[in-house]
Each structure stands twice: as C-alpha cells, then as structure tokens.
Amino acid sequence: MLNSIDLQGRMKARPELRYTASNTPVTSFTLAVQRSRKGQDGEYPVDWMDCVAWGKTAERAAQWFTKGDMAIVRGRLESRDWEDKHGNKRRSWEVQVESLFFCDGKKESAGRARPEDIPREPGDFAELADDDSDVLF
C-alpha cells in the first residue's frame, strides 16, 4: 500500500529535541502549508500540519531549523488514537518525517551556525583537478 506525503511550508516554531525512555531522539514541529486556492475572503488558507521526526533527522531538525524557515518534508501520514482528560476518544493525524530539506534561499540567522562555518577535518573532501575527464555528472 502506498502512503507518501510531500509538504512545503514554514516552521511554526523552532523544533525542540527530546529523548524517549530508550534515548531515541525525537522532535515534533508544525508546518504551515499554504493552500493553492484562495478562500472566499481572497486569502490563501493555511493548513497546520503536525510532524514528528526521529533519530538523526530529529537531531538535524532541532539543530538547523528555526521559526519561519521554509522546509520540504517527505514522509508518511499516520493516525493516532487517544483519550482526552474527559474520557472522549480522539484521533490525531501527523506526518512521520522520513526526510527534511531547506527550501529558503541562503540567509543569515543570529545564533545559528551555517554548514559552511562548520570546521572540517583534512581529508573530509577530495578536490578534483580541472582535467578529471573520467568524472560523470
């Protein structure tokens, strides 16, 4: 069966990293996704999509994303049944994030390191000579 979802939207808030009892990283965040058609008021309605990331994806989301960042989320949609404090049965839908990508252009953000600012160890990358004719793109 196919269960796949791709979303593009803005982070409602900075993702906060937590850990399960078994020390697995997890973060939840909400993505504001604008609809493609205007509503009766002439504005584009926004859907607020709850997302959950696990493991390295959760750690990277908490490290690199902040409120207002445009992101692309790829994952699957899952429902979760639960009871509220009054004993009423409820169902929530959330996106289980499989991958997360930046979608904004390059910008400076106070207090956030950029990938190009991260120190690299010698040997992390190999330079290609200009005459490397055997390299395929």
Of the candidates 41, 39, 51, the residue with the CA atom closest to the CA atom of residue 10: 51
* Residue 105: Cβ-neighbour burial (10 angstroms; 0-12, 13-18, 19+): exposed
User: E-strand spans in the chain?
Assistant: 5-11, 16-19, 25-34, 46-54, 70-83, 89-102
**Range with the poorest average pLDDT among 14-18, 44-48, 93-97, 115-119:** 115-119
Percent of the chain with pLDDT strictly greater than 90: 73
pLDDT of residue 103: 84
pLDDT tens digit sequence for 34-66:
999 999 999 999 999 999 999 999 999 999 999
Structure-token pair, residue 29: 């965040």
- What residue has token string 């690299």? 120
Those residues whose C-beta lies under 8 Å from the C-beta of residue 27, and which sit 6 or more positions away, are: 15, 16, 17, 18, 52, 53, 58, 59, 61, 62
Average pLDDT estimate for 68-84: 95
Average pLDDT, rounded, for the chain: 84
User: E-strand spans in 35-88?
Assistant: 46-54, 70-83
* Separation of alpha carbons 137 and 129, rounded Å: 15
pLDDT of residue 105: 60
* Separation of alpha carbons 49 and 75, rounded Å: 12
pLDDT tens digit sequence for 20-30:
999 999 999 99
pLDDT of residue 98: 96
Q: If pLDDT is split at 50, 70 and 90, which confidence band does 106 have? A: low
pLDDT of residue 14: 94
Domains for the chain: give ranges and CATH numbers. Answer: 5-106 (2.40.50.140)
Q: Is 13 helix (H, G, I), strand (E, B) or coil?
A: coil
